[in-house]
Amino acid sequence: MLSGIIIVILIIIVILLIVYNVMINKRMQEFKSTDQKIKSLSVLQEFMSTIGEAETVDNKIKKINNILIEQFDIKYSTIVVFDGAEYVIKATNVNEKHWDTMKNLQSEEIFQDSITTATPKYVTVNNEQERLPYQKLELGRAKSAMFFPLYIDNIYIGYWIIESGQPHAYDSIDTTILEVVRDNIVSALKTVSYQSTIESLPRKDLYSELTTAEYLYGKGKDIIDKYPISTVCMFRITNLEKINQEANRETGNNVIKKVSSFVRESISSEYLFVRYMGPKFVIVFSGIDIDGANGFLQDLKNNIENLKIDIANNEEQKNKKDKNKLTYVVPKINIVLTTYYKGTAIESLNKKLEEYLDEAPKDENQINEI
């Protein structure tokens, strides 16, 4: 009788312990899930912070990849994007000798279904002597990998792949969290793609040998935004059209070259100087207020308007009577400047300056603040 009671008590204790262990395990899973969500949120916050930094697109993507490696303790992480012509490694910590393999994984049969169905693909080996199907020269580098195809608006743009040096490293990993991270990578790539477009727009102007205005909206803005305020100056060669008519267009082109060269040699390398459009140019005095720029501009204006630029000897000038022949021209400029505040839209500011110069009287020839 006593032994039966003891057995019943032991059974009850065992049941209670099982229930307790189940509850503890459930609680641990909840804590683990919460911790993963917190980590995922932290990663997203770091992504957003990186996107907002004054860096080039390539540097931002590399920083994002480094965040993934550090936060999720990933051995190898590689982001590959199709640039319209070929697949390009945007970020990786894999040795460069393996890059040809890593940027051509979309051609591997093992990942074709993953790309077609937009689902992750997990591959691993069972022992140290085996190698992953896509590996060529990397026998000892990676033994497990997870491949995530990347899509923007249902269009395949590339992939993110993580690798481990251990077999079966990702057997029990929560892919839901990694898919959230994958989505965050796509969001980041989508955001920086607009910046990438802006960075690819600037060109060298043929006559002035200056970069075009688009430079100010990409890499130029990163330089300007190192300072809380700067002064933006736009000037117009007001008599350029007249020079083209009374002399010739070749002389007008020479005026653009001479004025551009003179300004470029006169300003500090810390300041930005671009050809905005036609006879209009922009100087950005990074970190300088209007008062600091005004005196310099007055001297610059005086010096430009003392330039004597020889007439280009073309047939049009040769055929003119001696009394109508020009021997040189003198450029005249109208200047407008304003304050730029870090983080604001410099393109809107330039539009405002351009409107002022376009609406100003043709003979206006001074320095204006707006």
pLDDT digits (tens, 9 = 90+) for 13-67: 666 666 656 555 555 554 444 444 545 546 556 655 655 555 666 777 888 888 8
The helix-helix angle for 57-71 and 175-200 (nearest 10°) equals 170
Mean pLDDT value across the chain: 80
pLDDT digits (tens, 9 = 90+) for 205-221: 666 678 788 788 777 88
* CA 257 distance to own-chain centroid: 31
What pLDDT score was predicted for residue 79?
Answer: 92
Measured CA to CA, the distance from residue 195 to residue 31 in angstroms comes to 39
Q: Spell out the long-range contacts of 309-318 with Cβ–Cβ below 8 A and sequence spacing 24 or more.
A: 309/251, 309/254, 309/255, 309/258, 310/251, 310/254, 311/247, 311/248, 311/251, 312/247, 312/248, 312/250, 312/251, 312/254, 314/248, 314/250, 316/248, 317/247, 317/248
Question: Who has greater pLDDT, 357 or 195?
Answer: 357
Average pLDDT over residues 334-350: 87
What pLDDT score was predicted for residue 39?
Answer: 52
Q: Give residue 113's pLDDT band: very low, low, confident or very high (50, 70, 90).
A: very high
Per DSSP (E only), the strands in the chain are 76-82, 87-92, 121-124, 144-152, 155-164, 229-237, 272-277, 280-285, 309-310, 328-329, 333-341, 367-369
Sheet strands side by side (includes 272-277):
272-277, 280-285, 229-237, 333-341, 367-369
What pLDDT score was predicted for residue 1?
Answer: 59
pLDDT digits (tens, 9 = 90+) for 70-111: 877 789 999 998 877 788 898 899 988 889 989 999 999 999
